[in-house]
Amino acid sequence: MGAVSLGAAGLLADAAEAQTPRRGGTIRFTAPYGSSFASLDIHTTPRSQDEIWARAIHRTLYSWDAAANKPVLELAREVTVSGGGLVHTFKLRDDAYFHNGRRMTADDIIWTYTRLMDGAKAFPGARYARLIKGAIEVEKGQAREISGLRKIDDFTLEMTLTERIEPGFNFYQAVTSIYPVGEGNSESFAARPIGLGPYKFVEYVPGSRIVGERWERFYKAGRPYADRVVISIMGEAAARDVAFRSREIDASILGAAQYVAYRADPQLSRGILEVPEVFTRVIGMNPNFKPFADRRVRQAIGYAIDADLIIRRLLREKAFRATSWLPISSPAYDANLRPYAFDPAKARQLLTEAGYPNGIEFEITATSNESWGIPVVEAIIPMLQRAGIKVTIKPVESTVLAEVLRSGQFQAFMYSMVSGPDPATALRCFHSATPQSACNYALFKNPEFDRLLDEAGRTDDPAVRAENLRKANAILLEEVPMWWFNYNKAVMAYQPWLRGLQPNATELAVQNFEDIWIDETSPAK
């Protein structure tokens, strides 16, 4: 179902592209994730909320191709790989100009990645640039230059990696956006960012909106189409709904309740884009809490909960049933895997076999999030009770939950975790070498899983790699370090005049604005 949906979304975008794009007008987009933008220095903030505006102003070495569902070259025209898969030589674009009028060269990329590795500054993008040989030495203050980055000439860059992995998954991230040499450290930069993107920064009204105007020297001929883009910060779903219906905004991310209302409306239902995103909703179980050390107890949780009922009734079909960790939009998703069936009797039997004939009792730490928080826990409490499992809720705020997980101070937790787009990186969260403080929250250890993942990292054969990743994902289904109950279905409502939206599975709200155009029926002509 999910694959079909992703395909349908792709067709929708293609159909929009097939028409002749119109130049002019204003794109009125929204940043829907609660709070304001964290900063106008995109290197300091990895939040999706900030990635939305960054795609208008900035560009990265790679970008995400939503239709192909993979990273593609952006600031380079071609790349050749040598040195056993570790040396990547990029032929950079010679027509990419920063908004201050200066042409981008290899120096800008080297400077940017070196900035990210400044250990004194703690940039979140360091986790991606650490892949480059010599980057860690810069981070630790042992070197001033990243040895794995070499300028061959102004438009040729050699990058030597420490691992044989696809660098596109790392360098399409907005936190690795390319800055002009030296500019990022100036006082004015964080107030007036200078990028390579299709729109030039015009103004930022903190807490309200960011405005960009077309950068005439953008390297993609004829793009962007619209004259301006206005991205308004609108965290309140109800307010966004009114603004959308009154035609003041062109697109809105929908929650479960709005999804039902919009689907039922003959007009609004014509403009809905659905995408299976790379987020998996889970109940994680701490093996240091005695009952969860037994796999049968963890499996019993899976059998005791009617996940389909939750998706149908509580999430109003705004989710896809999960089988294992990797989501539908992952290249290594295995459509043949079957989730645990709802079977309370089987759950009871497993608990008895594990030595808990009278059931177990545990606490779930959760936030108030409607899709993967307390409302869902409340719904599964009676289901679990039928299998003899008593659950209590420990409510926390999302920032607190993030810390609770890293410190292991929980019996079980409910969370939404990033499970893509790169399946190898996503699965690494369950490698025994990954600490709990990173993302191995359930302290998973399985030698066969480790072997499959390590081999996948070593092989040159894409088919072998994909097979290993699928097998590793299947082990997770069997071992149940977490109960995977659904994959997020992201839904965007858009106005009939807005064209060229992309079904971005990594985050639907993040769009390449140069591909979007508005027709003459838009009120913001």
Partner 1 sequence: MIQFIVRRLLQAVPIILAVAALIFLLFSVIPGTFAASLGDDGRNVVDAEVMARMNKELGLDDPVYVRFGKYVAKLAQLDLGTSFRTRQSVTSMLAARLWPTAQLTFAAMLFAMVFGVTLGFIAAMRPGSWIDTVSMIGAVSGLSLPKFWLGLLLMYLFALQLGWFPSFGYGNGGLSHLILPAVTLGVAPLALLARTTRAAVLDIMNADFVRTARSKGMSERRVVQWHLARNALVIVLTTIGLQFGSVIGQAVVVEKLFAWPGLGSLLVDSVTLRDIPVVQGTILFIVLLFLLINTIVDVLCAMIDPRIKYS
Which chain residues interact with partner 1 by CB under 8 A? Answer: 33-36, 38-41, 44-49, 119-124, 126-127, 190-191, 205-209, 232-236, 238-239, 242-243, 245-246, 248, 279, 367, 369, 396-400, 402-404, 406, 415-418, 435, 437-439, 507
Identity of the residue, 352 or 369, whose beta carbon is nearer to partner 1 in the bound complex: 369
Least Å distance, CB 399 to partner 1, is 4
Identify whether the C-beta of residue 369 lies closer than 8 Å to the C-beta of residue 415. no
Identity of the residue, 67 or 418, whose beta carbon is nearer to partner 1 in the bound complex: 418
Identity of the residue, 121 or 312, whose beta carbon is nearer to partner 1 in the bound complex: 121
Least Å distance, CB 40 to partner 1, is 8
% helix / strand / coil in the chain, to the nearest 5?
Answer: 35, 20, 45
Identify whether the C-beta of residue 33 lies closer than 8 Å to the C-beta of residue 255. no
What residues have CB less than 8 Å from 305, skipping those under 6 apart?
342, 380, 383, 384, 483, 485
CA-to-CA distance for 103 and 93, rounded, in angstroms?
10
Least Å distance, CB 443 to partner 1, is 14
Identity of the residue, 39 or 100, whose beta carbon is nearer to partner 1 in the bound complex: 39
Peptide bond into 167 cis (omega under 30): no
| Side-by-side strand order, sheet with 156-160 | 76-82, 87-92, 156-160, 149-153
CA-to-CA distance for 253 and 232, rounded, in angstroms?
13
- The phi, psi pair for 118, rounded to 5°, reads -65, 105
Least Å distance, CB 402 to partner 1, is 4
Identity of the residue, 19 or 437, whose beta carbon is nearer to partner 1 in the bound complex: 437
Least Å distance, CB 198 to partner 1, is 23
* Helix or strand run (H / E) with residue 50: helix 48-57
From residue 181, give the alpha-carbon distance in Å to each of 98, 102, 151, 152, 194: 11, 10, 14, 17, 11
Q: Nearest 5 degrees, angle CA 116-CA 119-CA 120?
A: 110
CA-to-CA distance for 298 and 347, rounded, in angstroms?
9
Identity of the residue, 300 or 442, whose beta carbon is nearer to partner 1 in the bound complex: 442
Identity of the residue, 162 or 398, whose beta carbon is nearer to partner 1 in the bound complex: 398
CA-to-CA distance for 437 and 310, rounded, in angstroms?
30
Least Å distance, CB 508 to partner 1, is 12
Identity of the residue, 397 or 520, whose beta carbon is nearer to partner 1 in the bound complex: 397
Identity of the residue, 153 or 236, whose beta carbon is nearer to partner 1 in the bound complex: 236
Least Å distance, CB 201 to partner 1, is 15
Least Å distance, CB 230 to partner 1, is 9
CA-to-CA distance for 55 and 197, rounded, in angstroms?
7
Least Å distance, CB 96 to partner 1, is 27
Least Å distance, CB 324 to partner 1, is 18
* Helix or strand run (H / E) with residue 393: strand 389-395
Least Å distance, CB 334 to partner 1, is 23
Query: What secondary structure letter does DSSP report for 480?
Result: -
Identity of the residue, 100 or 208, whose beta carbon is nearer to partner 1 in the bound complex: 208
Q: Where are the beta strands (DSSP E) in 156-263?
A: 156-160, 199-205, 209-214, 228-233, 251-253
Q: Where are the beta strands (DSSP E) in 54-135?
A: 62-65, 70-73, 76-82, 87-92
CA-to-CA distance for 226 and 216, rounded, in angstroms?
11
Identify whether the C-beta of residue 29 lies closer than 8 Å to the C-beta of residue 511. yes
Least Å distance, CB 348 to partner 1, is 31
- Sequential DSSP letters for 332-347: T--TT--PPP--HHHH
Identity of the residue, 354 or 374, whose beta carbon is nearer to partner 1 in the bound complex: 374
Identity of the residue, 50 or 108, whose beta carbon is nearer to partner 1 in the bound complex: 50
Question: If we measure between CA atoms, which residue out of 49, 81, 129, 97 comes closest to residue 220?
Answer: 97
Here the tokens at position 13 are 């975008």
Identity of the residue, 16 or 233, whose beta carbon is nearer to partner 1 in the bound complex: 233
Least Å distance, CB 444 to partner 1, is 16
